[in-house]
Structures are given as structure tokens and as C-alpha cells.
Amino acid sequence: MTTLSKRISINLAAALLVAGLTTSVHGQVPGAAGGFSESRGITQFAGKVICAGCSLEEVQQAHPHQHDLYLLRHRQGQVVMEVDTVNERSLWSYLTWPPRLWVRASDKLFALLTAEQNLFKEVEITGLLRNTGILDVFDVTFHR
């Protein structure tokens, strides 16, 4: 009986040790508990919509010297945008490579981005950028 009790105690101690080590390792991995969380604070970025309905490759080919181009895809279509400013540039760069984001927004908000009269106008987008490459858009504001 004593041997069985010792085995149970040793196994329990080993399990607790492994669980403790696993928790500290997960804290060092982006996206895991303790690392980057699934969602962060509000993301705000500004720039210009270069074209609607085109691909990122088409815009890069037509404008080889233009930088900070991003493809924003939505169930209604896609736009290519040149991003000038971001409230958290280092986090943005990490989460938006490759420069393609899936956008979750109301159809009305995304329609503002694809409207021909809004092309090349300064626009500010507010939303929540997730580490899955999904951007939840809450507000789109054009500066005339």
C-alpha cells in the first residue's frame, strides 16, 4: 500500500511540474495566454483608397514606387489602400504581413470605401485588428 501511495505522490508531483512549465512557456508565445491576446485596443489608421475591385499585385505593378499598400477584403469585394499613419505601427507591421486583411464591417461601411467618389480621398478607419488577420471596422471617416 505504501508503494502505491508513493507512486501516486510522485505522479501527482510530476504532473504539477509539467503543468507549471507549460504555463510559463505559453506566456512567451504570441497568441498564447500571456502573449499577444486575440484582440487588442482600438486600431486607427489613415491613408487613401487607391482602387476598388483590383488586386494588390495590379496596384504594385502600376505604381512600383508606392509603399505601404494593403489589400482589404470584404464579402462585397476588395480595395487596395495606401496606409500613411497607424496608431501602433510596430504592432500593425507584425500583424499585417502579408499585407492582406479580411474586413468585417457592415455593408454600408465597406461601400464607403469602394465608392468611386471616395477614391484618393484621405480616409481614417477605426476598428479592432486581430492577430488572425481580421479587421473589425467600426467607423470610416473621409476628410474632404
Alpha-carbon gap, residue 78 to 99, rounded angstroms: 13
- β-strands 69-74, 77-86 pairing: antiparallel
Provide the 8-state DSSP code for 120.
T
Three-state DSSP state, 85? strand
Q: Is 27 within 8 Å of 98 (Cβ atoms)?
A: no
Any alpha helices (H) in 27-137, and if so which ranges?
A: 56-62, 89-95, 107-114
Question: What are residue 127's DSSP bridge partners?
Answer: 43, 137
Above 80 in pLDDT, residue 23?
Answer: no
pLDDT of residue 3: 61
Above 60 in pLDDT, residue 32?
Answer: no
Q: Is 57 within 8 Å of 100 (Cβ atoms)?
A: no
The band of 2, judged by pLDDT with boundaries at 50, 70 and 90, is low
Alpha-carbon gap, residue 37 to 33, rounded angstroms: 7
Closest to 31 (Cα-Cα) out of 98, 128, 100, 131? 131
Alpha-carbon gap, residue 122 to 34, rounded angstroms: 37
**57-66, 80-89, 90-99: least confident range:** 90-99
Question: b/e per residue, 71-92, with b = 16+ CB within 10 A?
Answer: bbbbeeebbbbbbeebebeebb
pLDDT of residue 5: 59
